[in-house]
Chains A and B, each alone.
Chain A
Amino acid sequence: MITKPDGNLRWVTTFGLGHLRPFPGTWGSLPPLALGLVILAIMPDNAAWMVLRVVMLPVFVIFTLACVFLGDKAEARYSKKDPSQVVADETAGMALCLMLMPAISNGVGAAISLVMAFAFFRALDIVKPWPASSLQATPGGWGVVLDDLVAGFQAAVLLWFAYIVANLG
C-alpha cells in the first residue's frame, strides 16, 4: 500500500513507490523502464532512442539531486542508513543505464533490450561488484545514490560490451 510520505520526502521515495512491499528497490526502478517502453512504442524508430535519452537525462538528474539533498533527512526520518523506503537512487540508476545503453533498432528487440537493462541493473545493484560495494560507506545522500549510479553504469557497459561482441560476430 502506498502511504503518503511527508513533504519533500515524496521525491526520495519516488512518489511513494518506496513504501511498496516486497522488493521496494525493484518498484523504484520501474518508472524509467515504463517510460522508456512507452517512448519506444509511440515514437518513430529514427527518433525513439534520441527522445528516450533526452527524457532520461532530467529523470537521472532530478532523482540524483533528490538523494543528495534529501538523503540525510530521509535517513533521520526512517532512523536508518540507506533506508529501503528511499528508492530515488534506484530510479536515478535505472535512468542512467537507459540513457547510456546501446540503441537497438528493431521494435521487439528494443523493448527486450530495455527489459534486459532493467534485469542487469537490478542484479548488479543487489550484487554490488566493486566499486559499488565500497561507495555505500560514503556519508549522507551521496552514499545513498552513488552505488546505484555505479550499478547503472556497469549495466550499460555490460550491454555495450555485448553489442560490440555481437557486431564483431
Chain B
Amino acid sequence: MALALVALLALAPDLAGRTGVQPALLAATILFVLAAATDALDGYLARKWNAVSVFGRITDPFADKILVLGTAVMLATPTFRITTDTESAMAAGFTGWMVVFILGRELLVTTIRGVFESKGVDFSASASGKAKMVIQSVAIPGCLLAAAVWASDRPNWAGWAVNAAAWGTTLITAASAVPYISRAAKASTNQHTQDTP
C-alpha cells in the first residue's frame, strides 16, 4: 500500500496552475490513512495474539518508513510547487531540507538502536518516538489533503496551516531524536565504565 501511494504521487501531474480537487491526490490521501491504520493495527494484533515474527519485525518498520519518508520526499518534489499571483510555495508545505532533517533523524535513531540492541542494551521506542509518529501520521496526510482539495487555489489560512504542519513535523521529529542520543550516550558511558579495569 505504501509503495502504491508513492507510485501514485510520482505519477501525479504538476500542481502549478491547477485549481480544485485533484482526484489522484485525494486517492493518495485515502491510501495514506488506510496504510497508517493497518500499520498500527497489525503491530497491535501481532503483540496481542503473540504472533511477533522476524519477518514482521523487519517488514513492519520498513513499510512504516516507506509510508512516511516516501510520502514526505514526494511532497517536496517540483510536482507540488504552486505559483499564483500572490505566492510561490509548496502546496503541502514540505521542502527538500525538511525531508533531509526527517530522513536524517530516522537514519540516526535506526543506527543507534541497531548498534545498542546488538550489544544487548534495550532500546525500545520512547514516548518521544511515539509522539513523533502520531504527529507525522496526522500532519503528512493533512498536508496532502490540503494539496488535493485546493491545489494552487488555497485560502490564506490553508497556506498557514500546511506551513505550520510541515515546520512542526520537522522540528518535533528532529527533537524526538534527543532522548535516544542521551540514552545512547548514557549506555556508552556505562559500558566504558564496565570495560575499564
Contacts and interface: CB of A to CB of B under 8 A. Distances in A.
Contact of B175 (A106, A122, A127): A127
Q: A interface, how many residues as a size bin?
A: 20 to 34
A78 interface: no
Interface string A131-169: 001000000000000000000000000110111011101
Per DSSP, are chain B's interface residues mostly helix, strand or loop, or mixed? helix
Interface in A107-130: 108-110, 112-113, 116, 119-120, 122-124, 126-130
B157 A129 contact: no
A165 B94 CA distance: 13
A169 B159 contact: yes
Interface string B110-147: 00000000000000000110111011001100000000
Contact of B164 (A122, A124, A158): A158
B71 interface: no
Interface residues of B, number: 31
Contacts of A126: 127-128, 130-131
Interface stretch (B9-17, B60-68, B165-173, B184-192): B165-173
A166 B166 CA distance: 12
B157 A109 contact: yes
Contact of A165 (B86, B138, B167, B175): B167
Contacts of A105: 157
B176 interface: yes
B24 interface: no
A4 B91 CA distance: 49
B89 A127 contact: no
A163 B160 contact: yes
Nearest to A124: B172
A166 B156 contact: yes
B171 to A, nearest CB: 7
Contact of A169 (B86, B135, B164): B86
Contacts of B130: 126
B171 A158 contact: yes
Given A104-B157, A112-B157, A127 B168 contact: no
15 contacts: A109-B158, A112-B161, A113-B157, A116-B161, A119-B138, A120-B172, A126-B127, A126-B128, A127-B178, A130-B178, A158-B168, A161-B167, A163-B164, A165-B163, A167-B160
Interface of B: 86-89, 127-128, 130-132, 134-135, 138-139, 155-161, 163-165, 167-168, 171-172, 175-176, 178-179
